[in-house]
């Protein structure tokens, strides 16, 4: 090789040749670096049509790649000819000064070329590590590339050879290595520098797919719920990384219209077109023979993502674009066969059994095409929003929230304008809902005001409106209100129905007046018998099983009323009223509670004789009795019992929804010795491609906090592994439990972090009980600044915990009596105005 002169006398093409020649030799086996040999083997299959690519290699996938060996010396101290050549360019640059408007090594600056040279030296130095080299690249080299200025493709190619190919080679050794970049990040850099070689890149992706498949999803393999949940969360992180890599790779797809359509049509008949050729049509910048490995990587990823265990809600959205692309390709081509990809299986022998399992679950086919739920013909956005607010207010018994919802629904004018009135007239059931809310919160004047307003705009109250008032009185434990409303209802002359009779009977039992409830049931039957009398024409309703069930469930709330329940059943039988599944479920509950196996068997025998099938509620009742003492059984029997119950429910045709799973977990988590069946239930959920609900996450967090000592690290892992901060379905209750739990566990900084991130911005309400649990430890550690923030949040978004309290703004006698305000006042954390209102509220 002739001696290099000054770099200024060497044209760009010559520089390119000088850099490429050593790599061509390396591909022929001259390089002494074992990792370079493997990379070169992959590069042999990566011929591209774009400018600046490394030299042409063989067409097709080429020889199969041997399993990646572990080099004895990860960083070889010997320099390849390419290292010496690049060093020669750098030395030449140091000896000349470029003229105005002239750059060295193409468009690369001297500093960048020198830094790439240093990077190369780091890789060649004895004892150097790849994480250190990558950190140097991100901190020093990459920022210069990002500055732009037309960095030479020669320099980019060299970075690809020196660093990126090595990263792609080393990453599969430890996909959990925190100091190495993710597969997504490696792909991003490769695409940005235009150095992505399809076969070498796909080898990395296939290794990741295989690694995900090898993750153990069997609960028994893990010692605790925390270990199992953490392992499954880590698996999800790997799936996200896989999706990210494909997102970046697919960003290279050319488009005719800027959209996501293929670059050119797939013209060949379905029977002849292979998936590889169809995939090649999507990425015309690559030669089709070089895309064997990427095609298999895409197909293996598709199979992984459509497996039930990977179809959690957390990944559905991100997976959709890739799955849409692959679905289009697969449905246009003949089905891929293992023989199509035989050369790949020499390196990845496990993958055929994952990608082509012997027994395929037909229920899993095309599961990614599940329809997306939509509102359809449902309520308007405003109506849905108000309905949701009102539901939250009812759950928390928060009067101010009801008033705010009414203001949003009705408007701030005494009488709405014509446009709003036209909208309100279309929502009569919303007025009934407001009447229910105000009645259950013992605000009859507000309920009457809603009634008057609906009449003012032309909506006539219906029997459903009256029923809402009865339900509200029952929830408010207001027996007198039920009697008063009933009297007014009879005087109104409106025609009654079975629902309102049942609401009256149920309400009297709920309010603690069982005898009055029984009399109401008997009265219903007597009036029906006298229905020919014109006085009872509008009131008479035939007693049905609903009214009987209301009486039975009401009686079983009380001790020593079993004989009355028996008489009610006889009463119903005499009148030809047939029981339904609710009747049997109601009767099962006390039998299960007492452990009366003979009685339980009798109920099921009667159900069979009347051809009534068990439902979710039936099994829920049985669960309460069966799982109460499960902790006393050996772990294997615990798991077996849970699996038998799940199998029985499936055999009975019962839908096992998330509420059922939540019931399972609630009962199991009460016993700290039932970790094995908890893991079995979690595996059952994930095995169906479902995601945990906010309620279940709350139960798991409570379980960890309830341990002695509290396991706050497990809660933190739950939040971080499952990325719950980004999960919009996680409700306020979960975050409040975390604040309280961390506070009691002595981890006040984490509690404060949750508060600042979730509540401090005023995005939702928070109870004073939770605020107190946060303020108390902050006072103890003397963090006055944070304590002031918490008190300010109490003023803005705090709500009292007690029923009927929490109207805010000083209203209500209990609002200012909460211990949160007393603590804040005692510690001098209130401003003058707030302190004055506190004193007024406690007079």
The DSSP code sequence of 14-68 is HHHHHHHHHHHHHHTT----HHHHHHHHHHTT--BSSTTPPPP--SSS-SPPPPP
25-34, 331-340, 356-365, 564-573: range with lowest mean pLDDT: 25-34
Give me the pLDDT at residue 646, please: 84
Taking each helix axis from N to C end, the angle separating 784-797 and 768-781, rounded to the nearest 10 degrees, works out to 170
Taking all residues of the chain, what is their mean pLDDT, rounded to a whole number? Answer: 78
Is the pLDDT higher at 629 or at 42?
Answer: 629
Enter the DSSP assignment of 161: I
**Sequence-separated (6 or more) residues with CB below 8 Å from residue 457:** 415, 416, 421, 424, 425
- Residue 469: per-residue pLDDT: 94
Q: Which one, of 140, 173, 174, lies nearest residue 159 by Cα?
A: 140
Can you list the pairs that 228-234 forms with residues at least 24 positions away whose Cβ atoms lie under 8 Å?
228/679, 228/682, 228/683, 229/682, 229/700, 229/717, 229/718, 229/721, 230/717, 230/721, 232/682, 232/686, 233/717, 233/718, 233/721, 233/722, 234/176, 234/721
pLDDT of residue 3: 36
pLDDT for residue 102: 37
Q: Report, as an integer, the average pLDDT of 125-154.
A: 83
pLDDT at 633: 81
Quick check: 467 pLDDT over 80? yes
Output the pLDDT for position 328.
Answer: 85
Ramachandran bin of 682, using left for φ above 0, alpha for ψ from -120 to 50, beta for the remaining angles: alpha
**pTM reported for the whole predicted model:** 0.55
Distance in angstroms (rounded) separating the CA atoms of residues 810 and 819: 15
Query: Please, what are the domains in the chain?
Result: 1-194 (no CATH), 197-370 (no CATH), 381-616 (1.25.40), 691-841 (1.25.40)
- Could you give the C-alpha distances from 427 to 420, 439, 494, in angstroms and in order? 11, 19, 21
φ, ψ of residue 798 in degrees (nearest 5): -70, 145
Rounded Cα distance between 661 and 646, Å, is: 10
**Cβ 85 vs Cβ 22: under 8 Å:** yes
Residue with tokens 């001259």: 30
**Is residue 384 predicted with pLDDT exceeding 90?**
no
Residue-level pLDDT at 219: 82
- Residues 741, 712: contact at Cβ < 8 Å? yes
Peptide bond into 279 cis (omega under 30): no
Is pLDDT of 77 > 70? no
* pLDDT given at position 46: 52
CB atoms inside a 10 Å sphere around CB 544: 17
Q: Phi-psi bin for 800: left (phi > 0), alpha (psi -120 to 50), beta?
A: beta
The better pLDDT of the pair 607, 77 is held by 607
Burial class of residue 136 in the structure, from the number of CB atoms within 10 Å of its CB (0-12 exposed, 13-18 middle, 19+ buried): middle
* The pLDDT value given to residue 441: 94
What does the pLDDT read at residue 801?
Answer: 58
pLDDT given for residue 431 in this prediction: 94
Around Cβ 113, how many Cβ atoms within 10 Å? 26
Q: At what angle do helices 675-687 and 225-250 cross, to 10 degrees?
A: 20
What's residue 312's pLDDT? 52
Among the residue ranges 106-110, 316-320, 333-337, 341-345, the one predicted with the least confidence is 106-110
- Grade residue 301 by pLDDT with cuts at 50, 70 and 90: very high
Greatest extent of the chain over all pairs of C-alpha atoms, in Å: 121
Over residues 179-204, the mean pLDDT reads 92
Confidence of residue 478 (pLDDT cuts 50, 70, 90): very high
Q: What torsion, rounded to 10 degrees, do the Cα atoms 608, 613, 618, 622 define?
A: 50
Q: State the virtual CA torsion across 621, 625, 631, 635 in degrees, nearest 10.
A: -70
String of DSSP letters for 563-627:
HHHHHHHHHHHHTT----HHHHHHHHHHHHHHT-HHHHHHHHHHHHHTT----HHHHHHHHHHHS
pLDDT: is 256 or 546 the higher one? 546
pLDDT band for position 606 (cuts 50, 70, 90): confident
- Quote the pLDDT of residue 127: 67
pLDDT per residue over 694-741, tens digit each? Answer: 999 999 999 999 988 999 999 999 999 888 988 888 999 999 999 999
The conformational region for residue 754 under phi > 0 = left, psi -120 to 50 = alpha, else beta, is alpha
* Cβ neighbour number for residue 102 with a 10 Å cutoff: 9
- Mean pLDDT computed over 82-106: 43
Mapped onto helix, strand or coil, the DSSP state of residue 799 is: strand
pLDDT of 794 higher than 80: yes
Tokens describing residue 460: 């006539």
The phi and psi torsions of 602 (rounded to 5 degrees) equal -65, -40
Per-position b or e across 807-828, b if 16+ CB within 10 A of its CB: bbeeebeebbbbebbebbbebe
Q: What b/e string do you get for 485-517 counting C-beta neighbours within 10 Å, with b at 16 or more?
A: bbeebeeeebebeebbbbbbbbbbbbbebbebb
Over residues 481-494, the mean pLDDT reads: 94
| pLDDT for residue 697 | 94
Q: Provide the pLDDT for residue 34.
A: 33
């Amino acid at each position: 090789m002739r001696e290099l002169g000054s770099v200024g006398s060497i044209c760009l093409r010559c520089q390119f040749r000088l850099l490429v020649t050593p790599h061509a030799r390396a591909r022929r086996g001259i390089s002494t670096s074992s990792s370079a040999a493997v990379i070169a083997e992959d590069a042999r299959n990566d011929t591209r049509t774009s400018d600046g690519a490394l030299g042409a290699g063989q067409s097709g996938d080429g020889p199969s790649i041997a399993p990646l060996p572990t080099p004895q010396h990860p960083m070889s101290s010997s320099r390849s000819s390419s290292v010496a050549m690049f060093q020669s360019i750098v030395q030449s640059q140091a000896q000349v000064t470029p003229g105005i408007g002239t750059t060295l090594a193409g468009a690369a600056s001297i500093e960048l070329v020198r830094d790439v040279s240093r990077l190369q030296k780091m890789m060649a130095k004895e004892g150097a590590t790849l994480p250190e080299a990558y950190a140097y690249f991100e901190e020093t080299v990459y920022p210069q590339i990002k500055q732009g200025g037309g960095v030479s493709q020669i320099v980019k190619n060299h970075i690809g050879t020196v660093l990126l190919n090595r990263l792609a080679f080393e990453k599969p050794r430890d996909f959990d290595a925190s100091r190495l970049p993710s597969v997504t990040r490696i792909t991003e850099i490769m695409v940005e520098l235009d150095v992505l070689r399809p076969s070498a890149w796909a080898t990395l992706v296939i290794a990741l797919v295989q690694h995900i498949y090898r993750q153990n999803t069997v609960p028994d393999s893990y010692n605790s719920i925390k270990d199992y949940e953490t392992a499954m969360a880590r698996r999800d992180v790997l799936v996200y990384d896989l999706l990210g890599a494909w997102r970046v790779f697919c960003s290279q797809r050319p488009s005719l219209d800027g959209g996501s359509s293929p670059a050119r049509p797939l013209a060949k008949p379905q029977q002849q077109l292979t998936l590889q050729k169809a995939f090649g049509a999507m990425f015309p910048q690559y030669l089709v023979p070089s895309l064997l490995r990427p095609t298999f990587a895409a197909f293996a990823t598709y199979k992984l993502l459509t497996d039930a265990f990977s179809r959690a809600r957390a990944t559905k959205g991100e997976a959709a674009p890739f799955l849409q692309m692959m679905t289009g390709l697969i449905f246009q081509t003949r089905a891929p066969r293992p023989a199509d990809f035989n050369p790949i299986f020499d390196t990845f022998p496990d993958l055929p059994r994952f990608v082509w399992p012997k027994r395929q679950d037909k229920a899993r086919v095309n599961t990614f095409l599940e329809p997306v739920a939509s509102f359809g013909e449902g309520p308007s956005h405003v109506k849905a929003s108000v309905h949701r607010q009102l539901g939250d207010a009812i759950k928390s018994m928060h009067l101010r929230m009801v008033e705010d919802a009414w203001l949003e629904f009705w408007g701030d004018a005494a009488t709405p304008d014509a446009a709003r009135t036209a909208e309100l007239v279309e929502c009569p059931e919303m007025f009934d809902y407001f009447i229910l809310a105000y009645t259950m919160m013992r605000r009859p004047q507000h309920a009457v005001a809603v009634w008057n307003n609906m009449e003012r705009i032309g909506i006539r109250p219906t029997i459903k409106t009256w029923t809402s008032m009865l339900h509200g009185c029952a929830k408010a434990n207001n027996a007198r209100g039920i009697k008063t409303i009933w009297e007014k209802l009879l005087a109104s002359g409106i025609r009654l129905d079975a629902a309102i009779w049942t609401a009256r009977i149920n309400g009297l039992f709920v309010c603690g007046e069982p005898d009055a409830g029984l009399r109401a049931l008997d009265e219903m039957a007597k009036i029906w018998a006298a229905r020919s009398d014109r006085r009872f024409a509008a009131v008479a309703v035939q007693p049905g099983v609903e009214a009987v069930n209301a009486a039975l469930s009401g009686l079983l709330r009380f001790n020593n009323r079993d004989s009355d329940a028996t008489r009610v059943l006889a009463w119903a039988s005499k009148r030809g009223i047939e029981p339904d599944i609710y009747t049997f479920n109601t009767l099962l509950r006390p039998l299960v509670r007492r452990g009366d196996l003979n009685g339980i068997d009798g109920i099921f025998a009667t159900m069979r004789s009347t051809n009534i099938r068990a439902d979710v509620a039936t099994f829920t009742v049985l669960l309460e009795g069966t799982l109460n003492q499960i902790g006393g059984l050996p772990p294997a029997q615990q798991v077996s019992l849970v699996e038998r119950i799940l199998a029985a429910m499936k055999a009975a045709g019962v839908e096992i929804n998330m509420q059922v799973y939540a019931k399972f977990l609630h009962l199991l988590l009460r016993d700290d010795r039932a970790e094995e069946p908890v893991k079995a239930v979690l595996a059952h959920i994930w095995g169906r491609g479902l995601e945990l609900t906010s309620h279940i996450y709350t139960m798991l967090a409570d379980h960890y906090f309830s341990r002695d000592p509290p396991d706050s690290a497990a809660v933190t892992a739950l939040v971080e592994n499952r990325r719950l901060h980004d999960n919009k379905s996680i409700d306020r209750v979960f975050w409040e439990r975390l604040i309280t739990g961390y506070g009691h566990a002595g981890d006040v900084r984490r509690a404060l972090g949750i508060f600042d991130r979730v509540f401090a911005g005023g995005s939702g309400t928070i109870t004073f009980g939770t605020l107190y649990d946060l303020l108390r430890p902050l006072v103890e550690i003397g963090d006055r600044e944070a304590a002031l923030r918490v008190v300010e949040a109490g003023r803005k978004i705090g709500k009292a915990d007690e029923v009927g309290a929490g109207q805010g703004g000083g209203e209500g006698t209990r609002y200012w009596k909460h211990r949160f305000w007393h603590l804040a006042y005692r510690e001098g954390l209130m401003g003058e105005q707030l302190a004055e209102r506190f004193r007024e509220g406690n007079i």
